[in-house]
Structure 1
Amino acid sequence: MELNEIDLNLLVVFRQLLIDRRVSRVATSLGLSQPGVSNALARLRKLTDDPLFLRTPKGMEPTPFAEQLAEPMAHALQVIHAAINQRASFDPGTSKRAFTVGMADVGEIYFLPKLMKELARIAPGVSLSTVRNTAVNLQDEMEAGHVNLAIGLLPQLKAGYFQRRLFKQRYVCMFRLGHPLDKRKVSLSEFSAAEHVVVISEGTGHGQADELLRRQEVARKVVLTVPHYVAVGHILHDSDLVATVPERLAQALVDPFRLAYVPHPAKLPEIAINLFWHARYNKDPANVWLRSLVIQLHGETLGR
């Protein structure tokens, strides 16, 4: 007899017959019809060339050959069941796992301080590295498992990816404390008359703010353009320039650089910052743990 001749369901029926000893009980236990159980027994008898179970007043009594098969058959089914249902565990307290997260510099400024502090507390052996979402082929790297999570405004991650919104935020107008615009409300004309530093952060989606300002024909005197947000705090601290930045970044820069910000005078929509992971790793325990931690630290209640 070859394995390709055996239907695994027949072995399940065999095991249940050893337990229940009655066709009607087996049918109830397995959610089958009695004719279905009888048919399975007939196929087993043909495969093994043995009656396997004999009808007696006490029920279906196993033959010596059936009793011989009982233990190895039960063990085989147990091994198969365990293999199919196994789920590797992840213990952050003892793990030495190295994770890689895709994010822009604005994400590093906002997310990493709090995340690293929590990792030091609950997972001291875990290490984290970041990669720019534009520096690699993010889709291929996440599918291969080289990048575990990605955070940001990433419209390119669609089919094959799960995502969870962390929060929505608005754009604000930011400057140094004591700046002429440092007041409760700034008009659009005041905003336009100021000198600006503009961040061209390619691949992050934040460029849409500049595009919307152009479409609304909002004039700006741009005297400085930089490719990253990381320098904005230093630049604003020592100049009279103003910048259009995401509010969460503004919150992170206010105290270290003695800055201030106000609601943006132009009509700019809120942006959603999402957490992304590839569908292949949706149930991977380590991935589940890390993204749960990010959501716990930085996620807002959905629907807000």
Structure 2
Amino acid sequence: MTQLRSLLEGAQGLLIDRRHFEPSGLERTFVIRINEGAAASLTPALVRRIAAEAPNIVIRCFVEGNEDVESLRNGTIDLDVGADPLSSSDVCSEILYRERHVGLVAKSSPLARSAQPSLAQLCEHPHVSTSRRGRTHGPIDDALAAVGLRRRVIAVVAALVAAALMAADSDLVALVPERLARYFAARLEVAWFAVPTELPAVIIHQQWHGRLDHDPAHRWLRGHVREASV
């Protein structure tokens, strides 16, 4: 079934007049596999943009889990948006943005009073860690160990959004991508701050199969994903 969908989409792309492409008349479902942190901060703007131009488009998102190339090849998904590049000669890729991890706490936390608490101050408060594999150790722990410090992780969750919500409703510290922190700070009683050490940057890509590279509808979708990421 997925191979048939892929063939039909390829045929549909050939039939669309590239010179007179009108998204308003398009009826199509785009399936996007997306990093759940990016989904929270990116998809609201994306869906608003798409709906304004093409009311008959459906955006179906699901979170990462099995970041395989085959799902792009066989048409199971149309677009992959996430931090893990897929190394394959038949997959096209574009960097959408780079960002850093920041600390997120409830506004009632003492850490919310500083634009950049020290590493020692971070270790005075319990942490919630994010790991799909249930790990309590991450890059921040290596940075802390290098200066003789250690944080206390009392909870581990699989999703960044869950970690952010836990921080909002407790005395926990969550480390999340800055865009997600900004998104929640505008909507919840939380504050975010810079972490005073070098942590690996988060690089978010959008990736698609080469057969869709020149498909007008898919190029239009990618353009909106790009603009929603600004």
Superposition TM-score, scaled by structure 1 size? 0.64
Q: Deviations over 1:135-173 (max 9, x none)?
A: x46311111122111111013344321111111101101
Alignment partner, residue 25 of structure 1: none
Give structure 1 stretches of 5+ with no counterpart: 1-85, 300-304
Q: Is the 8 A contact 2:164 2:174 kept in 1?
A: no
Deviation of the 1:235 alpha carbon: 1.1
Cα deviation for residue 112 of structure 1 reads 1.0
Please tell me whether the aligned partners of residues 95 and 123 of structure 1 are also in contact (alpha carbons under 8 angstroms). Answer: yes
Q: Does 1:102 align with 2:33?
A: yes
Query: Where does 1:126-141 land on structure 2 (aligned, <5 Å)?
Result: 126-134=57-65, 136=66, 138-141=68-71
Counterpart in 1 of 2:190?
Answer: 259
Deviates more, 1:265-274 or 1:236-245: 265-274
Q: Against the structure 1 CA distance between its residues 215 and 236, is the aligned structure 2 distance closer, same or farther, given a 3 Å change threshold?
A: closer
Distance 1:234 1:220 in 2: 20
Point out which structure has higher relative CO (alpha carbons under 8 A, 6+ apart): 2
> Are residues 1:172 and 2:102 paired?
yes
Answer yes or no: is 1:212 the counterpart of 2:139.
yes
Could you say which residue in structure 2 is the equivalent of 1:88?
16
For 1:60, the equivalent position in structure 2 comes to: none
TM-score by length of 2: 0.83
Instruction: Point out the structure with the larger strand share.
Output: 2
Counterpart in the other structure of 1:280: 211
Give unpaired runs (5+ residues) of structure 2. Answer: 1-13
* Aligned CA distance change for structure 1 residues 166 and 133 (closer, same or farther; 3 Å): same
Q: Work out whether residues 106 and 229 of structure 1, in 8 Å CA contact, stay in contact via their aligned partners in 2.
A: yes
- How far does the alpha carbon of each residue in 1:239-272 deviate from its partner, in whole angstroms, 9 at most, with x for none? 1100111001101111222110110123213221
Note the C-alpha offset of 1:210. Answer: 5.0
Considering only CA atoms, is the larger Rg found in Structure 1 or Structure 2? 1
More helix, by proportion: 1
Question: How far, CA to CA, are the matches of 2:67 and 2:97 in structure 1?
Answer: 25
Report matched runs for 1:29-108 at 5 Å.
88-89=16-17, 90-108=21-39
